[in-house]
Amino acid sequence: MSSLVRMTRLFIWALPAWATLLLLATLTHQPPYQTRFEAWSRYVTTPEFLVSHLVGSILGGALGILGFVGLGLFLVGQEDRRTSRLAVPGVVCSVIGNVFVIAVFGIAAFAQPAIGRSYLAGHADVRPLYDDVNGVPLLVTALCGVLLLSLGVALLGLGIVRSGMVPSLAGWSLVVGAPVFAILGVVLADAVQTVGAALLLAGSLGTAYVLGRGDLAVTQGTSSEAAA
């Protein structure tokens, strides 16, 4: 059982790492391709764009999944059934949604630079390819991803609030930060996304500081199993 407790603590610390990488990846924003396709092409062909997607979005997304599992492990062991019942739907929605979002980030990391390089090389007719790549299947995948991710993180944040183990402000930061980052931020594609990421970072840091230090807050959630 001590191994499970250690894994829970470690995974919970992956949550602020995820939020930090998300925040760093949102510090700059793409020019609108609809009106500034050349500027967009120059932006997506920079090494910084590729690194921000590979490290900030894709690696960060993987760390986020570990963090969601860590919170789920903590919540599922709580004696309050209203709290523990949020663990499974929270983890399921956040993990599936995050995988969908990572798939979209993968398209952005590899397809968009190729389109941009082709346009800058003189192939002005490549612009319809962007619309084809970002067609209905990708939009549906992205929509399902951001909705499920927002719902899952909000449920986990609500579980943190109900547990009483962590200052409620940290849990509410997750509840609010998830839709601000994943829904409003994607729609507006501006500084709102950065604000959402900052809220997620604040909430996940507060949560990890309490639950990831080895306090009774984590071990209490598994005490009933240890006694069995």
Q: What is the mean pLDDT of the chain?
A: 88
pLDDT at position 119: 93
Confidence check: pLDDT of 223 > 80: no
CB under 8 A, 24+ apart: contacts of 214-218: 214/9, 217/74, 217/163, 217/165, 217/166, 218/5, 218/8, 218/9, 218/12, 218/74
Q: Which of 11, 122, 21 is nearest to 74 (CA)?
A: 11
Q: Which of 171, 144, 174, 175 is nearest to 18 (CA)?
A: 174
Averaged pLDDT, 204-210? 93
The string of pLDDT tens digits covering residues 114-135 is 999 999 999 888 888 988 998 9
Contact 203, 195 (CB under 8 A): no
% of residues, the chain, pLDDT over 70: 92
What is the separation of C-alpha 98 from the centre of its chain, rounded to a whole number of angstroms? Answer: 6
pLDDT at position 221: 43
Can you give the three-state secondary structure of 176-206, one letter per residue?
Answer: HHHHHHHHHHHHHCCHHHHHHHHHHHHHHHH
- Tokens 């924003």 -> residue: 29
The least confident of 139-148, 149-158, 194-203, 209-218 is 209-218
Return the ∠ at Cα 99 (arms to 195 and 86), rounded to 5°: 75
pLDDT at position 218: 43
Q: Which residue has the higher pLDDT, 165 or 93?
A: 93
Confidence check: pLDDT of 6 > 60: yes
The string of pLDDT tens digits covering residues 134-170 is 899 999 999 999 999 999 999 999 999 998 888 999 9
Confidence check: pLDDT of 220 > 90: no
The string of pLDDT tens digits covering residues 33-72 is 888 999 999 999 999 999 999 999 999 999 999 999 999 9
pLDDT at position 83: 86
pLDDT at position 208: 93
